[in-house]
Amino acid sequence: MGFFDKLKKLNIFANFGSELTEDFYDELEESLILADTGMDTALELVAELRRRVRAEGIKTMEGARECMCHCISDLMSVGESSLNLSTQPSVVLFIGVNGVGKTTTIGKLGSQLRKERKKVLLCAADTFRAAASEQLTIWAERAGLDIIKQHEGADPAAVVFDAASAAKARKADVVLVDTAGRLHNKQNLMNELNKISRVIDRELPGCARETLLVLDATTGQNGLIQAKQFKEAAGITGIVLTKLDGTAKGGIAIAIAKELGVPVKFAGVGEGIEDLKPFVPMEFAQALI
């Protein structure tokens, strides 16, 4: 079973018949919109498909399907898809609103990096609720990872400071930082992230750094609005799209890459430790349509 098999497919290529008629293009556009690609992205994809079908003399439905996969993959390839973990240590910051899957993603990724023999340190900088660091602690135990935490209500930047010091002392390869989703407004978010950023600059100068925005695919177009707000407030280097299992809104992945110009780097398809994978646009497109 492929990783994206839990994704709900667009059935149009299988069900429409064999002729590439006007009706086909109309229905394709509609089913893309239903899959939450958004109107603009749906129009652009269908226009691009028409263009390539004409230019390449494609006659069959299967040919059109394959061509559409390339259209989607090309539209989504907007930047480096792998994580930059080139320094020791490297730092990956996870941001996003409550409930999207930040803590779960950190547990899954930490476990996978450990299997690649990397020394991973988790940093519980979501200090807003005690439950948040407890949840990360459970993941640390499950994945066999070290964790740095403080008491509830502690300054997140202070926890990052501790984690940076520990990373140096223990020669960690990667520090995964969990942050709070409760950041009422953009100013608040920016201040918090800038403060964390300054601590990292000072303690780990020149380290490779990623800021991943975690988004819940089931929130569809709302997720995209969220993403735009986060992008304005923070320098996002990649997206983690969670809960792609069973959602009919998988098309949102295309809209996010296109509208934000930020690559989707990981996909989550379940709550288990194995349910996270590097995002490959072509593989995703093949599963979606």
Ligand X SMILES: Nc1nc2c(ncn2[C@@H]2O[C@H](COP(=O)(O)OP(=O)(O)O)[C@@H](O)[C@H]2O)c(=O)[nH]1
Task: List interacting residues with ligand X (CB under 6 A).
Answer: 96, 98-104, 135, 181, 214, 242-243, 245, 268-271, 275
Using Cβ positions, the residue closest to ligand X within the complex turns out to be: 268
Least spacing, CB of residue 135 vs ligand X, in Å: 6
- CB-based contact 208:91 (threshold 8 Å): yes
Q: Considering CB distances under 5 to 8 angstroms, the limit depending on partner class, which of Mg ion, ligand X, none binds residue 100?
A: ligand X
What is the sign, positive or negative, of the torsion defined by CA atoms of 190, 40, 52, 49? positive
Least spacing, CB of residue 271 vs ligand X, in Å: 4
Least spacing, CB of residue 201 vs Mg ion, in Å: 25
| Residue 104 touching Mg ion (CB under 5 A) | no
Least spacing, CB of residue 243 vs ligand X, in Å: 4
Residue position matching structure tokens 């949840």: 135
- CB-based contact 177:136 (threshold 8 Å): no
* Beta strands 238-242; 174-178: pairing state: unpaired
Least spacing, CB of residue 253 vs ligand X, in Å: 13
Q: Which parts of 125-154 interact with Mg ion (CB under 5 A)?
A: 132
Question: Cβ contacts of residue 16 below 8 Å, gap of 6+?
Answer: 24, 27, 61
Q: Is 289 exposed, middle or buried (0-12, 13-18, 19+ CB in 10 A)?
A: buried
Q: What single-letter amino acid sits at 156? A: P
Q: Identify which of residues 243 and 265 has a Cβ nearer to ligand X in the complex.
A: 243
For residue 144, which phi and psi values (nearest 5 degrees)? Answer: 70, 45
Q: Considering CB distances under 5 to 8 angstroms, the limit depending on partner class, which of ligand X, Mg ion, none binds residue 181?
A: ligand X
| Residue 103 touching Mg ion (CB under 5 A) | yes
Q: Considering CB distances under 5 to 8 angstroms, the limit depending on partner class, which of Mg ion, ligand X, none binds residue 269?
A: ligand X
Alpha helices in 88-206 (DSSP H): 102-115, 130-143, 156-170, 186-203
H/E stretch holding 41 reads helix 39-56
| Residue 242 touching Mg ion (CB under 5 A) | no
Using Cβ positions, the residue closest to Mg ion within the complex turns out to be: 103
Size of the site for Mg ion (CB under 5 A): 3
Least spacing, CB of residue 170 vs ligand X, in Å: 25
Q: Considering CB distances under 5 to 8 angstroms, the limit depending on partner class, which of Mg ion, ligand X, none binds residue 111?
A: none
| Integer Cα distance of 209 and 86 in angstroms | 9
Q: Considering CB distances under 5 to 8 angstroms, the limit depending on partner class, which of Mg ion, ligand X, none binds residue 243?
A: ligand X
Query: Angle at Cα 22 formed by Cα 21 and Cα 28, nearest 5°?
Result: 90
Q: Identify which of residues 7 and 174 has a Cβ nearer to ligand X in the complex.
A: 7
User: Which residues of this chain interact with Mg ion, rule CB under 5 A?
Assistant: 102-103, 132
